[in-house]
Chains A and B, each alone.
Chain A
Amino acid sequence: MNGSARLRRLASYAFVAALVVAAISCNEAHPNSTLTPHTDLGREIDFLWDRLLLLGTIVFVLVEVVLIYVVFRYRRRENQGTPPQTHGSTKLEIAWTLIPAVILVFIAVPTVRTIFITQAQAAPGSLEIDVTGHQWWWEFRYPDYGVTTANEIYLPVGRTVNFRLRSADVIHSFWAPQLGGKRDVITNRTNYIWYTPDTSIAANVWNGFCVEFCGASHANMRFRVFTVTPQQFESWVAGQKMPARFGAVGPAAPTTGPIPPPHEGPAVTTPGGPNSPTQAAQAAAHGIAQQSSGTGAVGGTQPAIPRPQNAEANPRARLGAAQFPSVATASAGVAPGYIFPREKVPDYAIPHSPIPPGLKFTAGLTGNAHRGLKIFSGAACIGCHTIAGNPMAMGTTGPNLTHVGSRIAIAAGRFPNTAAYLALWIKNARAMKPEVIMPTLGLDEYDPVLKAKVTSATGGLTDQQIADIVAYLTALK
């Protein structure tokens, strides 16, 4: 037996294992790691995990080493007689009943302590956020601020956030791995989870996921969490409370945070065309599509979205509403409050999903946001979507689009929020995301649910009309 050689081999294995552990706990390459907690809850869990991993590794190594030793040491040899016919050993068996029990005490005690700490009621003064899971997107409401958003939430660092979780349809589960544990979002129930983002993680983006299987597009039910400074958060809230700056002419919102430069003007050139906003020949807008009634609404209790009660308090909100619909050209879509600068969004938070094959869009079209507003307000869109400041758009089945232009992703994190993806999304959402409830809107596109092509009689939109809507939505910063 050359035990020292085996020991050295084991040591080298341990070293490789340590390297792997070091590599995977590196934050850069692993943006969703549960091993780098950034909240109080995350750290409580990580403390338990470290202990479990340590004790588990010790037990694992001991058992496997003893097993390997026994298997090699007692292999059958030439001319070996019958081995000793032992039937058991009470002492040994008591020992290996008690030792695991003692180890478990070291796990059980901190476990129970952590359960009661983390499941206590959230501290008073916490930021309340109502989370509603829908097939397959997330609705976030800030009841204290009258703000509603979808698939993207902003959290101020250093302040406890208490998520109140409800479902509009089936069971989902709410999880941002770097921030803390998950909690199921259950039909006919209200669940809670709370944690406090560390102050060190201000101005960062984290991925979130639905982690309870909820149907065809379960994999496409993602969200983004922006952890920002309290000042940035206040500015963001101020901006979110008012309608989008589209059409509004007013001073920049008071903010201490950086105001991002406009990424794209309201005139948007559709994919395939040149990137410069050339004035392509624009066909006169034909009859605005009739509103379709097919919204594919699902049942379930749907909490009412608060109407912008802040309209009274905020004169600029009223201004925006009053100017509708006489705006000829939209002002440059500068967001009224802080939004996370798009150029700082890390790669892991920007979706990379490829465009499904077979989807095409006319190249070179230039959308007009003002026309887009009119088309949007007369099309099926308003049956499901709310846009504060647009009195026609009050639907609550789909995501609130008030500031959709400031979001980094569409379709619950499946595609990046750019004109190219948005145009295809409006044209044929059902090809872009399996079984999505949003109907197909592009003229002559095939709708797999209705099992028919969309015609102008059923509300089909031409590519030019879609380009106009894209220009409108993109301007809603």
Chain B
Amino acid sequence: MATTARPAPKHSPDAYGEHSGLWSWLSTVDHKRIGVLYLYTALFFFMFGGVEAIIIRAQLGAPNQHLVSAEFYNQLFTMHGTTMIFLAIMPLSAAFFNFLIPLQIGARDVAFPRLNAFSYWVYLFGGIFITIPILFAVAPNDGWFGYAPLTTRAYSPGINIDFWVIGLLILGVSSLAAAFNFLTTIINLRAPGMTLMRMPMFTWMAFIVQVLLVLAFPVITIALVFLLFDRFFGTNFYNTVSAGADPLLWQHLFWIFGHPEVYILVLPAFGLVSEVLPTYSKKPLFGYPVMVYSGILIAVLGFGVWAHHMFAVGMGPIADTFFGLTTMLIAIPTGVKIFNWIATMAQGSIRYTTAMLFGIGLVALFTIGGISGIMHASPPADLQQTDTYFIVAHFHYVLFGGSIMGIFGGIYHYFPKITGRLMDEKLGKIHFWLTVVAMNLTFFPMHFSGMLGMPRRIYTYDAGQGWDLFNAMSTAGAMIFPIAMLVFIYNFFVSRKRGEIAGSNPWGAGTLEWTIPSPPPEYNFAKIPTVTSRYPLWEGKGIDYECARINSQEGKTPADLGIVMPYSTIKPLFVALGLVTMFCGLIFARALIGVGAALMIFSLYSWLLSPLEPEHH
């Protein structure tokens, strides 16, 4: 296998060297390049949200500090949450969906390549739209959860919340379009023999996440449209200054979206780690069917637990009991995943690559978040925990210890597939250990500050409350993150230019994406493979290896192979631009609504009337 010395590749491994002009990126419909766009954009927003977090921690490093004002602090924590959830973790997952799903199922692209480009551009413009205000200190300031009636015009008269409502609506369009696209892709474009129960675990988790997106995003969209109407057109869904409005309507709608959202954030990382652990243990994933079923079960139960965010609301004993018990139930399939990952490594032959370290890190750290999750699944116990720093500790172990660790593992694992070069392992390990130290030093003390009574979302706290030490620890930990990220960024960009040439399968992995050259040619598979097992490169039959041999050949153009590729087109970008311009009109100048709508309709019409690809001959 390709882990030893490899011959120099025939074509340049510099990613897409032959199509590197700006225009080619603006007009691309190639799922791999769109995945790369998602990756870069989301990493940028990840660092932007990180800077917000560092200012937050600097402010809280000692009692009664006034580094930033209360008003700006509230914008910072609101945008930290909003950025990390909607602009960093979800799009980082989307980067992998884009890049990997077609490669893992043996397809040449996603089902709707131009819709895919549209999703990305909507995400980019929506991300810019919701991020720009903080540079002018008019960013959303009522928390990522935006509880009504605080978010209604009566209590938030400024444009801050307008940016939040409209920004989230825009981002929802992107997520929904992408979700339908990936669902169709996974259902329809699997290679011959790629039955559902042979799909790689990442694609399985991606599939479940798309279902969650399709079911959860309409709910938040409705909730946001109600709020938009309250704020702009004087309706009274949540507007409690008028009689009859119910602020709990918002909470229910928000969390019916918000809890599945947690699984939208963490299941892709579970999928990535389910690729990483078997590869570096040289063993198939332990209990594949149970891993699939537990993923499905988590998704189903995930829609029945939303009110555990509301145990302090006073829903009554019956509702508290129901949601407490369903929340405890969801621990069972989650625990099964943890145990199966450990069993995957047991008796294996473990190689400590950086990707593997991040994978092991996920198992170790997500476990902590899972256990603290059980602690507030018990509604009476939650009354002492909710809205304190204990919860902040919990969900950072879930989202950093789970999602981010998994995503970094995925980046180190798939970097050679994306760029054709390996990342530096030594720097990668420095990045890993710095991240683990920073993560635990920042978030573990929050368990204590929370149980010692420190509320969340406070811009300052008084001296003598018993929180000083733990906050100082958290702040010290937070200051290590930027060092870790600098190591990662340096490694990323230097390796992209000068890293060791990877070859098609540098890690000796077993799934389809490792049968094709790195970076993959634009058509992915010269010959659509026929699949006979879950790990075609490990346990396949003759036909698997024959397909792999053909597909690993480099230097062929689509014309050589007679493969029809879709046209590049800028039209999805203009549709996205028109959509966002139209929404901007609500805040800035009503005339923009017409301009944006005209641009969107014209571009959409033109898009729909132009063919996707040249006619087949």
Contacts and interface: CB of A to CB of B under 8 A. Distances in A.
A29 B470 CA distance: 13
A183 B367 CA distance: 29
Given A83-B349, A93-B340, A209-B455, A49 B149 contact: no
B49 to A, nearest CB: 18
A352 B458 contact: no
- Pick the 7 closest A-B CB pairs, nearest first: A181-B383, A32-B453, A219-B458, A30-B466, A177-B453, A434-B70, A88-B287
Contact of B462 (A186, A352, A356, A434): A352
A435 B380 contact: no
Given A49-B384, A100-B331, A189-B248, A219 B70 contact: yes
Contacts of B465: 31-32, 207, 348
Nearest to A35: B451
A53 B8 CA distance: 56
Contacts of B312: 173, 181-184, 211-212
B435 interface: no
B419 interface: no
A75 interface: yes
- With a 10 A CB-CB cut-off, give which of A59, A116, A186 has the most chain B CB atoms: A186
21 contacts: A52-B375, A67-B360, A74-B350, A76-B282, A83-B347, A83-B349, A84-B347, A85-B539, A88-B288, A88-B290, A93-B339, A96-B336, A104-B328, A111-B380, A111-B381, A171-B149, A173-B312, A186-B247, A215-B74, A353-B64, A353-B462
A35 B388 CA distance: 14
Nearest to B244: A188
Interface in B341-363: 342-343, 345-352, 360, 363
Contacts of B246: 188
A366 B156 CA distance: 41
Nearest to A206: B453
Interface stretch (B100-108, B314-322, B588-596): B314-322
Given A48-B380, A48-B381, A108 B386 contact: no
Interface residues of A, number: 100
Interface string A402-440: 000000000001000000000000000000001100000
B380 A104 contact: no
Nearest to B74: A216
A13 interface: no
A60 interface: yes
Contacts of B349: 74, 76-77, 80, 82-83
Nearest to B314: A191
B386 A86 contact: no
Given A86-B283, A183-B383, 20 more contacts: A29-B466, A32-B467, A48-B378, A49-B381, A52-B374, A63-B367, A76-B350, A87-B284, A88-B287, A88-B290, A88-B343, A180-B383, A181-B312, A183-B314, A186-B313, A189-B314, A211-B455, A213-B457, A222-B462, A299-B154
Contact of B286 (A31, A86, A211): A86
Contacts of B566: none
B347 A60 contact: no
A170 B150 contact: yes
| Residue from B141, B155, B243, B316 having most chain A Cβ neighbours under 10 A | B155
Interface string A129-171: 0000001000000000000000000000000000000000111
A182 B342 contact: no
Interface in B150-198: 150, 154-155
Contacts of B332: 97, 100-101, 104
Interface string B443-469: 000001001111111111111111100
A120 B317 CA distance: 8
A301 B248 CA distance: 17
Contacts of B368: 60
B610 to A, nearest CB: 48
A59 B247 CA distance: 39
Given A34-B451, A74-B345, A114-B380, A217 B287 contact: no
A371 B143 CA distance: 46
Contacts of A184: 312-314
B258 to A, nearest CB: 15
Contacts of B461: 219
A27 to B, nearest CB: 9
B14 interface: no
Interface of A: 20, 24, 29-35, 44-45, 48-49, 52-53, 56, 59-60, 63-64, 66-67, 70-71, 74-77, 80, 82-89, 92-93, 96-97, 100-101, 104, 107-108, 111-112, 114-116, 118-119, 135, 169-171, 173, 175, 177-178, 180-184, 186-189, 191-193, 207, 209-220, 222, 298-300, 347-348, 351-354, 356, 413, 434-435
B63 interface: yes
A222 B461 CA distance: 10
A218 B155 CA distance: 13
B345 A186 contact: no
Nearest to B248: A186
B424 interface: no
B387 A173 contact: yes
A215 B64 CA distance: 18
A74 B281 CA distance: 8
Contact of B283 (A67, A83, A108): A83
Contact of A188 (B247, B338, B377): B247
Given A60-B367, A89-B343, A213-B142, A116 B317 contact: yes
Nearest to B70: A434
A418 B222 CA distance: 50
B240 A188 contact: yes
Contacts of B386: 182, 211
A186 B349 CA distance: 56
Interface in B376-395: 377-388
B245 interface: yes
Nearest to B447: A24
B286 A52 contact: no
A215 B155 contact: yes
Interface string B519-553: 00000000000000000001100000000000000
A206 B282 CA distance: 58
Contact of A107 (B69, B287, B328, B451): B328
A32 B454 contact: yes
B335 interface: yes
A70 B463 contact: no
A178 B453 CA distance: 8
Contacts of A182: 312, 383-384, 386-387
B512 to A, nearest CB: 18
B364 interface: yes
B70 A97 contact: no
Most buried by B among A114, A207, A212, A352: A212
B401 interface: no
B283 A119 contact: no
A219 B459 contact: yes
Nearest to B346: A70
Identify which of B248, B347, B455, B465 gathers the most chain A CB atoms within 10 Å of its CB. Answer: B455
Contact of B328 (A20, A63, A76, A108): A108
A435 B378 contact: no
Nearest to B470: A24
A115 B379 contact: yes
B500 interface: no
